Amino acid sequence: MDARMLDKADLATVLERLAQTRRLIAPVEDRTGAAFASVDEVAAIRLDYRNTSLSAKEIVFPQTEPLLVFRDGAAEERIPAAPGAVLFGVRPCDARSLTMLDAVFRGGETEDPYYAARRDELTVVALTCNEPGPTCFCTSVGGSPDDGSGADVLATDLDDGLLLRAITDRGEVLLGELDAGRPAEDGEIEAARDLAARAAERMENVPVPTDAAALLATFDSDLWSDLAAGCIGCGACTYACPTCHCFDITDEQKRGTGHRVRSWDACTFPPFTLHGSGHNPRPTATARLRQRVLHKFSYCPENFGEAFCVGCGRCVVHCPSGIDIRRILARLDAVLTANSEAGGPTR
């Protein structure tokens, strides 16, 4: 696969050219630090960011998206047209989360055509991490600072230059289109690997329980009410999370004209599972937090073969009560280890 070295001084010109034919989505400065935005002025792109406050999932799974539009009883589907978008400079954790969203929206018996339309047109350039963030733990959940899952091109900031490595055919096409820089030398690729390895070393190692069945066996444990003691039932964790994908579907109309629209929803909200009868299968904050954690670390491994957490640490940053998924995992792991040593069931 192609690997090219791009002089940083040329980056703006190259991206400007790219932006003429593609929709360019990249991190820009935001009051929360950095955020992804459709970029018209490439000067606004900030590759010196650590990570964005919210994830990149909005690009393939918008918070608000019309599914159908209708007038006077006649409905029409509204599949998005997203020709040739490039997500430039996303972190490897977010790129990896796309593979998980793929599994949900494209896997199984039915493909979600809205997600598919956006995803098919997206080329992902992931910016490898030279420095871990304060709440990062990707290496504990199967990722790494230069993980290529979900990405088409891996970019690495090597001070004066940007190393671009195509890792998929689509990435190859993009590098060809960029038509810039010079072929990278082996030493530069080596340097990029070293940077990522050093970043990985500096990252906290969180013990993550991987036995889906053993985790499920903690379901009735008192541990959960303890872990959820501070949970106030907002959706900050789920909405900031790159892999949380629950949604609602509602209709809005005015005089026969309107749309059926999907929007993000969260299992941490009390009405999420509320039946019309008033019965709620998850009536407490404890049940809801347990659902969120077990969904990621037990149910998803069961259904998709891997935990739905990429270790971005955003939920840790945003939880108003300071609930920390790393601590929850460590507690669960300790309990499971103790149980397996004692040879007894967790229940």
Which residues in 308-337 contact other proteins (CB under 8 A)?
A: 313, 316-318, 320-324, 326-327
Which residues on neighbouring strands pair with residue 86, listed in sequence order? 24, 123
In degrees to the nearest 10, what's the CA dihedral of 44, 50, 53, 54? 80
The residue among 168 and 225 lying less far from other proteins, judged by its C-beta, is 225
Q: What is the closest distance, in whole angstroms, from the C-beta atom of residue 182 to other proteins in the complex?
A: 27
Of the candidates 275, 305, 341, 345, which one interacts with other proteins according to CB under 8 A? 275
The residue among 184 and 332 lying less far from other proteins, judged by its C-beta, is 332
Is 346 an interacting residue with respect to other proteins (CB under 8 A)? Answer: no
Residue 249 neighbours by CB under 8 Å, 6+ apart: 67, 260, 261, 262
d(CA 105, CA 124): 18
Q: What is the closest distance, in whole angstroms, from the C-beta atom of residue 77 to other proteins in the complex?
A: 5
Taking Cα atoms as reference points, which of 1, 3, 14, 84 lies closest to residue 47? 14
Residue 343 Cα to chain centre, angstroms: 37
Q: What is the closest distance, in whole angstroms, from the C-beta atom of residue 259 to other proteins in the complex?
A: 5
Tokens, residue 327: 């601590």
Of the candidates 71, 182, 193, 198, which one interacts with other proteins according to CB under 8 A? 71
Taking Cα atoms as reference points, which of 56, 64, 23 lies closest to residue 42? 23
Which residues on neighbouring strands pair with residue 252, listed in sequence order? 259
The residue among 153 and 241 lying less far from other proteins, judged by its C-beta, is 241
Is 145 an interacting residue with respect to other proteins (CB under 8 A)? Answer: no
The residue with tokens 């593979």 is 99
The residue among 23 and 245 lying less far from other proteins, judged by its C-beta, is 245
Kindly determine how many residues on this chain lie close enough to bind other proteins according to the rule CB under 8 A.
113
Is 182 an interacting residue with respect to other proteins (CB under 8 A)? Answer: no
User: What phi and psi, each to the nearest 5 degrees, are found at residue 49?
Assistant: -85, 165
Which residues, 22 to 41, sit near other proteins by CB under 8 A? 27-34
The residue among 3 and 100 lying less far from other proteins, judged by its C-beta, is 100
Is 261 an interacting residue with respect to other proteins (CB under 8 A)? Answer: yes
Interface segment toward other proteins; rule CB under 8 A; list 15-23, 74-82, 118-126, 333-341: 74-82
Is 240 an interacting residue with respect to other proteins (CB under 8 A)? Answer: yes
Taking Cα atoms as reference points, which of 114, 111, 219, 101 lies closest to residue 149? 101
